[in-house]
Amino acid sequence: MFQNPSEDEIRALLQSVKRIAVVGLSPRADRPSHRVAAALQRFGYDIVPVRPALSEVLGQPAYARLEQVPGAIDLVDVFRNPDEVDAIVDDCIRLRLPAIWLQDGVINPAAAERARAAGMFVVMDRCTYRDYMALCI
């Protein structure tokens, strides 16, 4: 059964990452992905939108797929349906990315376990914004 890392481990992750690829980042300001990513950007994180058919979100160039993002990615923050997580985890493993965060309601224990078995830091069904506010401020 999947279990999230401890709050101390999550705090350490949030304090160490610099560049966050946000998969499913909406251009609409009323969507949770947009609100969370905008807040993370205000906190000083470099946000990289990953969403097909968009050229820019939050003033940053957008990419259709993780493999198209130039440079290092410290964390993949996922705002997609749980049934889409397997393919995202496959991409993360193939690209040897260090960490994946499945947002509130994005629950796929098998994919989370697979990512962890591949050596990734994995958080599931939690909010990066809420955890940053609770653990890092």
Which backbone phi and psi does 112 adopt, to 5 degrees?
A: -60, -45
Decide if pLDDT at 1 tops 90: no
Which backbone phi and psi does 2 adopt, to 5 degrees?
A: -70, 140
What are the residues whose beta carbons fall under 8 Å from the beta carbon of 87, sequence distance 6 or more? none
Query: How many structural domains compose the chain?
Result: 1
Answer whether residue 14 is part of any domain: yes
Answer whether residue 128 is part of any domain: yes
Tell me the per-residue pLDDT of 80-116, one tens digit each, with 9 for 90 and over: 999 999 999 999 999 999 999 999 999 999 999 999 9
Contact between residue 85 and residue 93 where contact means Cβ atoms under 8 Å apart: no
Tell me the per-residue pLDDT of 106-124, one tens digit each, with 9 for 90 and over: 999 999 999 999 999 999 9
Domain of 83, CATH number, reads 3.40.50.720
Answer whether residue 1 is part of any domain: no
Residue 41: the pLDDT is 98
Q: Report the alpha-carbon distance of residue 16 to residue 129 in Å, rounded.
A: 15
Token code pair at residue 90: 């496959």
Q: Report the alpha-carbon distance of residue 128 to residue 119 in Å, rounded.
A: 20
Residue 16: the pLDDT is 98
Answer whether residue 2 is part of any domain: no
Provide the domain limits for residue 83: 7-135
Residue 124: the pLDDT is 98
Decide if pLDDT at 54 tops 90: yes
